[in-house]
Amino acid sequence: MQAIDDYITNLRHLPPAPRVVPELMRLLNQPDVESSKVVKMISFDPALTANVLRICNSAYFGSASPTSDLQEAVTRLGFQQVYQLVAAATGARMLSPAQIGYGLEQGELWKHSVAAAVAAQIIARKTGDNENIVFTAALLHDIGKIVLSQSLNGVYSKLIKETEMNQLSILEAEKKILGVNHAEVGGQLLERWKFPPNIVSAVWFHHTPKGAGAHQRLASLVYLGNMIAFFMGHGYGHVAFALRGRVEVLTTLGIEAEAIPQFMIETFEQMHLVEALFALGG
């Protein structure tokens, strides 16, 4: 735990804590939430406000008369949609930069994260799990990579060697070389940022869902969403596919393996819309 903490504390360019997302999550979990509270929370962040307005006025939502009123935008879009836009806009800020240590170019970690979030949400819809929580956990599952990338920069030839010569997964190679892995660092970072324990746990155990205890189901959804993102090609960087198969997630979620291709098709179609919305392109 100390080692993980050191990595986070010593990081030079850690993004500011995304305060709005965990607070908004808590708010939306309350029954009968008032829209004025949601509006107030978003309005503290000018960039988020601008994003919500821009997206509300985009052709995708087909609004006839553009609005510059955040309250109006929240009413038009609905809480669930607003929540996801806020989570995605926040994720875009943190996850867009290149992560050289992992061989990830500008925008690639973001695109991977969105694909995983979209896929996990599609699965959650089928399994009847809370879509907002699943979407957020999957969106942030690789947040630990923004911490470890700087440390891996310059030693990634070692990382590749460990995966190729010793048949280690990326996670195991990170642990061997750095003493920590991106999943536990991500979990710890989200804990610091006051995300709820289920999100923290799902991110911490997104490669090893069995370890998530009470949150094994959520961790399994994130694991499967992450896998589908890889299958679709949204898994970038050096030896990105050096991952362990955790077949038990299918049992945990009550899903047949045959359902995976259908999830891939739906993710592909949903990604088309998301790409148009956030101009993810290329």
CB of 169 to other proteins, least distance (A): 6
User: Which residue in 49, 163, 181, 188 binds other proteins (CB under 8 A)?
Assistant: 163
Binding residues for other proteins, total number by CB under 8 A: 35
Q: Cα–Cα distances in Å, from 109 out to 36, 55, 102, 128, 151?
A: 34, 22, 10, 28, 17
User: Which residue in 169, 175, 211, 280 binds other proteins (CB under 8 A)?
Assistant: 169
User: Which residue in 238, 270, 277, 280 binds other proteins (CB under 8 A)?
Assistant: 238
CB of 208 to other proteins, least distance (A): 14
Q: Cα–Cα distances in Å, from 180 out to 5, 185, 197, 200, 253?
A: 10, 7, 20, 16, 28
Q: Cα–Cα distances in Å, from 16 out to 19, 30, 190, 191, 220?
A: 8, 26, 12, 14, 28
User: Which residue in 236, 253, 274, 278 binds other proteins (CB under 8 A)?
Assistant: 236
Q: Enumerate residues 66-125 that contact other proteins by CB under 8 A.
A: 102-104, 108
> Given the rule CB under 8 A, which of 10-18, 119-127, 131-139, 263-271 is the region that contacts other proteins?
263-271
**Cα dihedral across residues 180, 185, 187, 191: positive or negative:** positive
Q: Does the protein bind other proteins through residue 265 (CB under 8 A)?
A: yes
CB of 243 to other proteins, least distance (A): 5
Q: Cα–Cα distances in Å, from 44 out to 20, 38, 105, 241?
A: 9, 10, 31, 40
Q: Does the protein bind other proteins through residue 242 (CB under 8 A)?
A: yes
User: Which residue in 237, 252, 263, 278 binds other proteins (CB under 8 A)?
Assistant: 237
Q: Enumerate residues 119-158 that contact other proteins by CB under 8 A.
A: none
Chain centroid, CA 160 distance in Å: 24
Binding site for other proteins (CB under 8 A): 102-104, 108, 163-164, 167, 169, 227, 230-245, 247, 250, 257, 260-262, 264-265, 268, 282
